[in-house]
Structure 1
């Protein structure tokens, strides 16, 4: 695990605790997502370490318009600790904590072409049976897969793509 995630972990846990206490997981997800997206923009990322950037200006830059007081204070703590650049990692770890608390597995299905709804429903049902939890699916298209799909559900990756099968066949023939 990278050092950035190690540094971000206590902040993500603190954000999760605040969201749980407020009963607003979705609001914190949206606010952290906005701040992480802003912080990962190259122009903003270049500004954040600048000592001439006032803490209030940094918070105003990263906070979404309807940000709550606790989220603004959270950004203030990050600014004081010079940790605003870690917002993308904090947001990612927060989403993992939220999914665990809500008993949800987030899966990404990448296929060579857009999958019909019926196939996505079948994949979702199979994953729900395998994990014993509710499943949220995000889809993507990667034409280089040639055919089939790759399912990434956290620690489990299922490569059913033609590209993956050809790579395994090539490896088997080489050895």
Structure 2
């Protein structure tokens, strides 16, 4: 995985620079997300690795409706360098650069049950104060957490779940 990230980094930086200079980051991000979803599918990965597949066919498969010529050229470059499988990593890195440039922190809040909007707003406000940036919150439900919340915001993970507390208590008692 780290090799894929390393190989994807120069492409992601180049795409980010092109999209930023053209003032088209959202469009490029959407196009990359579309292509990455297709490239991440195991069946499509086999199709993309087929030696009979032409560059034009790959571009047609991976380009969203109304994709730009520049995006098609980018896909052609990836095809020629046999880097189409890196699309998910490239898309992830471009999104991370975009959020950094927009000063947005992407956070995932996982709870045992769905949170009321007021609690989610309170968590978002607390994260905004902590990071000094706008926070985009994604929610998930994992019933095994028992209660509380697990917040994953990039390099910061806050485990306030009952399961996490029980695990830490068990570890403390074992030592």
- TM > 0.5: yes
CA drift at 1:15: 0.9
CA drift at 1:133: 0.5
CA drift at 1:49: 1.7
1:151 aligned counterpart, secondary structure: strand
Cα distance in 2 for residues equivalent to 1:139 and 1:18 = 31
Match of 1:63 in 2: 63
1:130 aligns with 2:108: no
Match of 1:45 in 2: 45
Q: Which TM-score applies when normalising by structure 2?
A: 0.98
Match of 1:100 in 2: 100
Match of 2:17 in 1: 17
- Map 1:1-175; keep pairs closer than 5 Å: 2-175=2-175
CA drift at 1:21: 1.2
Cα distance in 2 for residues equivalent to 1:68 and 1:22 = 12
Cα distance in 2 for residues equivalent to 1:132 and 1:121 = 16
1:120 aligned counterpart, secondary structure: helix
Moved more, 49-58 or 102-111: 49-58
CA drift at 1:22: 1.2
CA drift at 1:47: 1.4
CA drift at 1:50: 1.6
Q: Deviations over 1:9-65 (max 9, x none)?
A: 011111101110111111111100000000011110111122111111011111111
CA drift at 1:99: 0.4
Cα distance in 2 for residues equivalent to 1:28 and 1:117 = 31
Q: Which TM-score applies when normalising by structure 1?
A: 0.98
